[in-house]
Amino acid sequence: MSKFDKFLKETVARVNHQCDYCGNPIRVGDVYYSEKLKDLFLHSLHEKRFCSKCYKEHGDNLLKVKKGKRKPTGTPPLERWIGDKSTWIGPTKCDEQREARERDWENIWKNLVSAKGYRETYLFLMPAIDLFREALSCYQNGAYMAAVSMCRASTETLVYLLASRQIEYRKGQSFVREVKVDHSLTESKFGEMLAKAKAKGYVNIELEKQINKIRKNGNFALHYGQRYDKELEESTRHGVPEGWIGMEKTRDVLRDTSELLTKMIGKTFIIAQDILTNSTR
């Protein structure tokens, strides 16, 4: 064995690097493989670094790659590793998990539209439901960070609608058709809207927790740079953070959002029935 023998050492990136084989970025927190000399008293001046995907594909053959000899090939693959699974980022036509996602969104949607009072309260909650539909569409197409962002948009819109609208009594109607809008909330911060929705009896502590959980995931996507750093900072003791929201987590967030919408449909339905049928005005 020559003292210049090398091996590849599994390492967690503390700063950003670039893979010396495929040219893809290795980001802070990513697991990558760096070339080390077996003789620990020697240091390689031009240590090569390879991403986990290339290591998986080529293993120790990467040691034969000459630094700077291999130019990154065309467009880097739009992939991101979450744990030991890869997630495609960006437009794609063929995708092995598409069928599973189709089943997921169809089930989630079927549950929502079969909720008691869905039709009767549809006009009241439509903007939030439309945003949720958009979230399902993102999921269907593998756009996970987009899907959780839309779940947050749907949830915040839902809270605004509940806070700002009053169902109007119209004789003989069993569907919500008219509402009075409180325009004082159009410039309000979310906390104010939530307080109002709570005061009106729509949201309790348990639901508030659920709302905040959905918003937190959306925030991770919408403020990715900051949130990723924060997660990394908090997770040094618990290993590498996920770093990107994948299919499974997105499905959970969709289910949470659907459940929240279903509960709010139920509450709105009870309130609407009371106003529309029992009003003595």
Q: Which stretches of the chain bind Zn ion, using CB under 5 A?
A: 19, 21-22, 24, 51, 54
Distance of alpha carbon 189 from alpha carbon 39, whole angstroms: 60
* Neighbouring-strand partners of residue 13: none
Select 32 or 269, whichever has its Cβ closest to Zn ion: 32
Distance of alpha carbon 122 from alpha carbon 265, whole angstroms: 8
| Shortest spacing between CB 55 and Zn ion, in angstroms | 8
Q: Is 149 helix (H, G, I), strand (E, B) or coil?
A: helix
Query: What sign does the dihedral 18-24-28-29 (CA atoms) show?
Result: negative
| Shortest spacing between CB 132 and Zn ion, in angstroms | 37
| Shortest spacing between CB 89 and Zn ion, in angstroms | 15
Cβ proximity of 164 and 181 under 8 Å: yes
Select 68 or 191, whichever has its Cβ closest to Zn ion: 68
Distance of alpha carbon 73 from alpha carbon 86, whole angstroms: 19
Select 50 or 220, whichever has its Cβ closest to Zn ion: 50
How many of the other CB atoms lie within 10 Å of CB of 184? 10
Cβ proximity of 218 and 148 under 8 Å: yes
Select 19 or 115, whichever has its Cβ closest to Zn ion: 19
| Shortest spacing between CB 224 and Zn ion, in angstroms | 22
| Shortest spacing between CB 75 and Zn ion, in angstroms | 14
Name the residue type at position 197. A
- For the record, the structure tokens of 279 come out as 């009003």
In sequence order, the 6+-apart residues with CB closer than 8 A to the CB of 130 are none
Query: What sign does the dihedral 147-153-159-161 (CA atoms) show?
Result: negative
Q: Say how many residues make up the chain.
A: 281
Select 85 or 103, whichever has its Cβ closest to Zn ion: 85
In 4-97, alpha helices (H): 52-58
Select 81 or 202, whichever has its Cβ closest to Zn ion: 81
| Shortest spacing between CB 48 and Zn ion, in angstroms | 11
| Shortest spacing between CB 22 and Zn ion, in angstroms | 3
| Shortest spacing between CB 67 and Zn ion, in angstroms | 13
Select 1 or 15, whichever has its Cβ closest to Zn ion: 15
Select 22 or 240, whichever has its Cβ closest to Zn ion: 22
Cβ proximity of 34 and 48 under 8 Å: yes
DSSP structure class, residue 59: G
